[in-house]
Amino acid sequence: MNSRTHFRLVVLYVLVAALLLVLAGRLWTMQVLDGRHYRQVAADNRTRDIVVPAVRGVILDDQGRLLVRNRTALVVSVDRTTLSRQKDGGKAVLGRLALVLGTGYDDLSKKIRLCGPGIQRPCWPGSPYQPIPVDDRVSAKRALQIMERQEDFPGVTAAVQAVREYPRPEGASAAQALGYLQPITQAELDQRKGLKVTGYSGVDLIGRDGLEATYDAELRGEPGLRKVVVDSQGRVTGTARDRPPTPGGNLVTSIDAGVQGAAEKALESAIKDARTRGRKADAGSAVVMDVQTGRLVAMASYPSYDPSIWTGGISQDEYDALLGKKKGEPLISRVTQGQFAPGSTFKVSSVAAAVGDGYDLHGTYPCPGSFNVGSRAFKNFEGQAHGQMDLHRALVVSCDTIFYKFAYEQWLRDGGTKPKKKPSDPMVAMARQWGFGSRSGIDLPGETTGRIPDRGWKRSYWNATRKAACKGAKDGHPDIARTDPARAAYLKAIDSENCAEGYLWRAGDAANLSVGQGDVLVTPLQLTRAYAAVANGGRLVVPRVGTAIARPDGSVARRIEPPEAKRLPVDPKVLAYIRGGLAGVPKSGTAAGAFRGFDFGKVAVAGKTGTAEVYGKDDTSWFASFAPAGKPRYAVVAMISQGGTGGESAAPAVREIYEAMYGLKGKKPMLKDGRLPAAPPGQPAVAGPPGQPAVAGPPGQPGVAGAAP
């Protein structure tokens, strides 16, 4: 062997050794230095997390009747990600799916596009990584067609899911109180910790309104997580970890389906009656509250809608047609979100304010047809004069001029147009103490505050509107002047007054406030609460709809206790006096017509009508009441927007509700001994999806469901 060959063999030795050392070094790096990382990656590689949705809890009334339950449905869902990986972007798949489901390709493709600016419903408001339900009323046969030909339907799943259903026991809908569910958005999904959503065919819904929103966390339950071992084809070869879902708790409410149904029916018939009398009657509400506890027994809002339209998505057309302005925006709960001038029902606060300010509770005061507040004459309703009277009678006949006098005199004491440094404004202060102008704190979302106008509000309102007022003052209203010169001149005068001194708390403002007019706005719930306070001796309760969260096995997970009630700064004697006055209203006062022939012997109703003038619209009709007058249990308040006087529209609705509750006029009573019956033991089981244990109803423990004494 020559030396060159020998040398080159040696080079080869070294080369081969070097190559093998490189391999060994690389192995050391991967297996020992980076071993932990690769272990983790391997584990992720091998396992998939499957989220097993929890069955959402049901919502029950005080006697265990189901207001919301779950229906099992075969839901066909489409996974956008899988679809987009198809060669044609999933067009062929959607086409085939449309054929099977009996819809059009366009409908389907619209349903699965993502909502965004400029995109009208139908569109998907939820997370783009979530399978999108396109049909929740699929027959088993069609579902099978899809599942058996998965190669034709990549990304399409058909699975059994629980879908919300509204059985309407006793005709009770309570749609606005119950609320509705909507797909969870990506942002909300991101907030939920540790839920990797893979292979999840479910629709993750979240409560968007009403009780569904307030108690979402408890109703939702805890989704289960199944960690499955998969092979390279994604086939499941075993289960590594299985955490079963915890079904959501059932929400027991104080709503009584019977009373709720009666309230809805009474409200609707009162509105229809008002329309036959030529009133516009565009909206209304009726509330029944337990005056001792603040628990709501019924809360009806008109117009209403069928909440089951939410399941399976809703198109823009449907949305507009069912939930839009034309239909009176039925999603808005008039109970908690409607704001209306309360009219004379507000006088309970004004009486308390006047007495608190030193006026004699038992004194007599003149009730002329009209009272001059500064330069303007403020009139009684229809200008009627009643002569001298006490406050009791002032409430019964609803005299306004007495309250104008109180308000004007108080305003003068505060310095009039040149106010003192710290004006006392007793009517404003009292109204706030009664809970007006601020949220009641009910367990429903989106509650509005109403408005108690005061000096501060006047100034900020003036700042916001001064420009327009000054323009009107300068130019007048030429368009109106053409047809109605007198009115244009009036408007111009108001504008110039507002432009110059609109920030001032004027005598007229004080006078209007005293009778619940002008800029005062209250929600029906606030008024109900105020009347409950009158009825229960001065405790301003915090309203509650939910009474308890029950576990699926029926035991109580949590009692929902209302917060401590605040006390009104009113002498109980004054409240008793007011109660006496209100008791006369249905018998001989402004509501006597509505309560003609009512069996006061069985249940003594005390109440107050309200007729609030609204500029450019029909009057708002109110009737706020409680019963029995001697030992009050329930406050019932009805409001009909553009319904005319309180006596003609709202009072009959309230009467109908009482008749239903106490079983008058041949109706079966819903109340036993003036009380709602306690929930019977043993609730109907609620069927969950197959494989899930049946969800038991709430407990039958007395005091949990049903009205407290």
Partner 1 sequence: MTRVSGPMNRRAAGTLGGYGEHGVWQRRAAGLRRLDWMLVLTVLALSVGGAFLVRSATFQILTDQGQDPEGLLKRHVLNLLIGFGLGGLVTVLDYRLLRAYVPILYGLACAGLLAVLTPLGSTINGSHSWIVIGGGFQVQPSEFAKVGLVVLLAMLLGEPRDGEVGPGRRDVLLALALAGLPAALIMLQPDLGTTLVFTAVVLGMLAVSGARKRWLAGLVGGGLLTAFAVWFFGLLKQYQIDRFTAFMDPSADPRGAGYNAQQARIAIGSGNLFGKGLFQGEQTGGHFVPEQQTDFIFTVAGEELGFVGAAVIIVLLGLVMWRGLRIASQAADLFGTLVATGVVCWLAFQTFENIGMTVGIMPITGLPLPFVSYGGSATFANMIAFGLLQAVHVRRRTFD
- Within 8-47, the residues that bind partner 1 by CB under 8 A are 8-9, 11-13, 15-17, 19-20, 22-24, 26-28, 30-32, 34-35, 37-39, 41-42, 45-46
Count of positions on this chain that bind partner 1 (CB under 8 A):
38
Q: Judge contact between 51 and 197, C-beta under 8 A.
A: yes
Residues 6+ apart with CB under 8 A from 304: 173, 175, 176, 264, 330
- Is the Cβ of residue 191 or residue 232 nearer to partner 1 in the bound state? 232
Q: In the bound complex, what is the minimum distance in angstroms from residue 147's beta carbon to partner 1? A: 22
Q: Judge contact between 130 and 200, C-beta under 8 A.
A: yes
When asked if residue 6 is in the footprint of partner 1 (CB under 8 A), the reply is yes
Q: In the bound complex, what is the minimum distance in angstroms from residue 224's beta carbon to partner 1? A: 23
Stretch that binds partner 1, among 230-238, 265-273, 282-290, 658-666 (CB under 8 A): 230-238
- In the structure, how many helices (H) and strands (E) does the chain have? 23, 23
Q: In the bound complex, what is the minimum distance in angstroms from residue 196's beta carbon to partner 1? A: 17
Binding test (CB under 8 A) with partner 1, winner from 52, 189, 230, 480: 230
Helix, strand, coil fractions of the chain, as percent rounded to 5? 40, 20, 40
Tell me the Ramachandran region of residue 387: left when phi exceeds 0, alpha when psi lies from -120 to 50, beta otherwise.
Answer: left
Ramachandran angles phi, psi of 547, nearest 5°:
-110, -30
- Is the Cβ of residue 42 or residue 140 nearer to partner 1 in the bound state? 42
Length of the chain: 709
Q: Judge contact between 695 and 686, C-beta under 8 A.
A: yes
Q: In the bound complex, what is the minimum distance in angstroms from residue 226's beta carbon to partner 1? A: 17
Binding test (CB under 8 A) with partner 1, winner from 191, 232, 276, 483: 232
DSSP bridge partners of 161:
73
Residue 175 has which token pair?
A: 């749609």
CA 97, CA 65: separation in Å to the nearest integer?
39
- Is the Cβ of residue 38 or residue 129 nearer to partner 1 in the bound state? 38
- Is the Cβ of residue 2 or residue 483 nearer to partner 1 in the bound state? 2
CA 690, CA 674: separation in Å to the nearest integer?
42
Q: In the bound complex, what is the minimum distance in angstroms from residue 4's beta carbon to partner 1? A: 5
- Is the Cβ of residue 83 or residue 629 nearer to partner 1 in the bound state? 83
End-to-end CA distance of the chain: 114
Q: In the bound complex, what is the minimum distance in angstroms from residue 18's beta carbon to partner 1? A: 10
When asked if residue 412 is in the footprint of partner 1 (CB under 8 A), the reply is no
- Is the Cβ of residue 154 or residue 669 nearer to partner 1 in the bound state? 154
Q: In the bound complex, what is the minimum distance in angstroms from residue 164's beta carbon to partner 1? A: 38
- Is the Cβ of residue 39 or residue 467 nearer to partner 1 in the bound state? 39
Place of tokens 């009380």: 675
Mind giving me the DSSP string for 544-611? BSEEEEE-TTS-EEEE-PPPPPEEPSS-HHHHHHHHHHHHHHHHHSTTTTTTTT--TTT---EEEEEE
Q: In the bound complex, what is the minimum distance in angstroms from residue 230's beta carbon to partner 1? A: 7
Q: In the bound complex, what is the minimum distance in angstroms from residue 132's beta carbon to partner 1? A: 23
Residue 600 has which token pair?
A: 């006061």
Q: In the bound complex, what is the minimum distance in angstroms from residue 27's beta carbon to partner 1? A: 5
Binding test (CB under 8 A) with partner 1, winner from 84, 120, 150, 237: 237
Largest Cα–Cα distance of the chain, in whole Å? 142
Q: In the bound complex, what is the minimum distance in angstroms from residue 29's beta carbon to partner 1? A: 9
When asked if residue 104 is in the footprint of partner 1 (CB under 8 A), the reply is no
Alpha helices in 203-315 (DSSP H): 210-214, 216-220, 257-276
- Is the Cβ of residue 45 or residue 463 nearer to partner 1 in the bound state? 45
CA 114, CA 480: separation in Å to the nearest integer?
47
- Within 670-709, the residues that bind partner 1 by CB under 8 A are none
Q: Judge contact between 241 and 226, C-beta under 8 A.
A: yes
- DSSP code at position 343: G
Query: What x/- string results for residues 425 through 454 when contact with partner 1 is judged by CB under 8 A?
Result: ------------------------------
Residues 6+ apart with CB under 8 A from 481: 488, 489
Q: In the bound complex, what is the minimum distance in angstroms from residue 238's beta carbon to partner 1? A: 10
- Within 564-603, the residues that bind partner 1 by CB under 8 A are none
Query: What x/- string results for residues 40 through 79 when contact with partner 1 is judged by CB under 8 A?
Result: -xx--xx---------------------------------
- Is the Cβ of residue 9 or residue 140 nearer to partner 1 in the bound state? 9
DSSP bridge partners of 366:
388
Stretch that binds partner 1, among 197-205, 231-239, 365-373, 600-608 (CB under 8 A): 231-239
Q: In the bound complex, what is the minimum distance in angstroms from residue 197's beta carbon to partner 1? A: 20
CA 485, CA 435: separation in Å to the nearest integer?
42
Q: Which of 495, 593, 559, 586 is nearest to 706 (CA)?
A: 559
Binding test (CB under 8 A) with partner 1, winner from 229, 314, 678, 687: 229
Stretch that binds partner 1, among 115-123, 202-210, 225-233, 351-359 (CB under 8 A): 225-233
CA angle 405, 508, 651 (to 5 degrees): 75
Q: In the bound complex, what is the minimum distance in angstroms from residue 239's beta carbon to partner 1? A: 14
CA 245, CA 670: separation in Å to the nearest integer?
38
Q: Which helix (H) or strand (E) holds 262?
A: helix 257-276
- Is the Cβ of residue 13 or residue 490 nearer to partner 1 in the bound state? 13
Binding site for partner 1 (CB under 8 A): 1-2, 4-6, 8-9, 11-13, 15-17, 19-20, 22-24, 26-28, 30-32, 34-35, 37-39, 41-42, 45-46, 229-232, 237
